[in-house]
Amino acid sequence: MSELVFFSGTMDCGKSTLALQIEHNRAARGLQGVIFTRDDRAGEGKLSSRLGLVREAVELVEGMDVYTYLVDRMTRGGRADYVIVDEAQFLAPEQIDQLARIVDDLELDVFAFGITTDFRTKLFPGSQRLIELADRIEALQVEAMCWCGARATHNARTVGGEMVVEGAQVVVGDVNRPAEEIGYEVLCRRHHRRRMTSATARAGVLSPDVLPMTSG
């Protein structure tokens, strides 16, 4: 039976790499899928991983009806045995409903990949709708790590190495950007709450963990 599966995790935990692996495994068995993406780091119409792998994809733009697109493609003789959607958190809730319709009406598996919460720890609307509708939710087993060595659970937006908590929900960026640019960093909850990035830690910011010492 076909399924809508949501693979979730923080940035830098291998979501796009897994999407590419799923595509490779199915293609090796003679199946042909349709890959959608939105605002990939490599540019429009690309599915890329930080390992350097890149695959052509269909850019799922705002307002696009993904169900209608797929039906039109198949009507014109295009083949679709499954669907992969990367950066699914950027989709509108109605587009997630369309993915569910692809599963139910066209009986195709849909594999959606995305992060659940933004830099403010608020759910992305697309991810929220996936949580509500998905047949199965899979947390990726490759754990990203905070600069302190703990498991990273939150995504932080940085400007000049400093964590920011205000601004538009969607600003395209990536980890490992130059400090002066808008970038992202994965942190554990403790350091996300304290707004301590690797840059501020290196700068010698006194951690609240350190208790004051008194003599005598």
Catalytic residue among 3, 23, 44, 87: 87
Distance CA 121, CA 200 (A): 20
Respond yes or no: is residue 87 known to be catalytic.
yes
Structure tokens of 69?
């697109």
3-state DSSP of 65-109: CHHHHHHHHHHCCCCCCEEEECCHHHCCHHHHHHHHHHHHHHCCE
Max distance between CA atoms of the chain, in angstroms, equals: 84
Q: What CA–CA distances, in Å, run from 92 to 21, 128, 140, 168?
A: 26, 10, 23, 15
Residues classed as catalytic: 87
